[in-house]
Amino acid sequence: MNLAEIVESALAEDIGSGDITTELCVPADRKASGRFLVREAIVVAGVELLPLLYNEPRIKAGSGTCLEAGQEIATVQGSARTLLTRERVALNFLQRLCGIATLARKYVDAVAGTGCRILDTRKTTPGLRQLEKMAAKAGGATNHRLGLFDAVLIKNNHITAAGGVRAALEATESSNLPVEIEVRTRSELHEALECGATRLLLDNLRPEEAMEWIRIIGGHATVELSGGITLETVRAYAETGADFISVGAITHSARAVDIHFQLELE
């Protein structure tokens, strides 16, 4: 789905046959304005959706902007009914996406100066991957593959099903896409390097193990680390010499941030 379809689906889910409360309580001709205010320090994401929800919103802070508590993301004007009916959908998007961007920025800041880049993953909310990856990028993370179609990533179960590292790599030689392979043992690591692998995924290693494996690789392939890496440990992993660290938590465990919609009658 494109962005407009995602927004329309969210509105249809929430409004259904009509916003009963607003239609009963608010006169149809009443005009109002509204402000999206943050109640904590955040990184902004998702403001690209506001023009799909409101007529000519005034965006005060673009995606990627750092805001402190009390600052505005955007203001909107129009029918009070429209502002109220679309309030929750707008907040749901902003709170979720700003939460992802804010968490992504924490990981990016934690590895600053190491030369290692933070990657997002496919561990996203079904149907919202495009939005969540936009938010991760707004926070400074690098987008990994969007889906199963735009890169080859040979994981452990692919290796098992293919019959081994060599068989899996040889089967992808005709692909014009980037090819990355996960290696689980020293034997698989050496076999992948012998086969000319240029992108390696090392999963669930301790930092000291990762550093040792990266010494063996010796710059012959780029290295991605993954597997339960947290804000507390990410710096140690980045200092191993890894090129990338992928963090599923950026999208699957980001906390929705505190954003408030303040309505004022005109």
| Edge-to-edge strand list for the sheet holding 58-59 | 58-59, 72-79, 31-38, 259-265
pTM of the predicted model as reported, rounded to 2 decimal places: 0.96
Residue 111 located in a structural domain = no
Catalytic residue among 106, 123, 129, 184: 123
| Residue-number span of the structural domain to which 84 is assigned | 3-105+254-265
pLDDT digits 0-9 by tens, 223-238? 999 999 999 999 999 9
209 and 261: one domain? no
213 and 235: one domain? yes
Residue 163 located in a structural domain = yes
At 1 the pLDDT is 79
Residue 64 located in a structural domain = yes
CA 39, CA 37: separation in Å to the nearest integer? 7
List the CATH number of the domain containing 192: 3.20.20.70
What are the distances in angstroms from CA 154 to CA 3, 83, 159?
A: 30, 47, 7
216 and 258: one domain? no
88 is catalytic: yes
182 is catalytic: yes
Mean pLDDT of 107-114: 98
Residue 115 located in a structural domain = no
Catalytic residue among 35, 60, 117, 155: 155
Catalytic residue among 14, 72, 191, 203: 203
9 and 28: one domain? yes
Q: How many domains does the chain have?
A: 2
pLDDT digits 0-9 by tens, 237-259? 999 999 999 999 999 999 999 99
Residue 112 located in a structural domain = no
123 is catalytic: yes
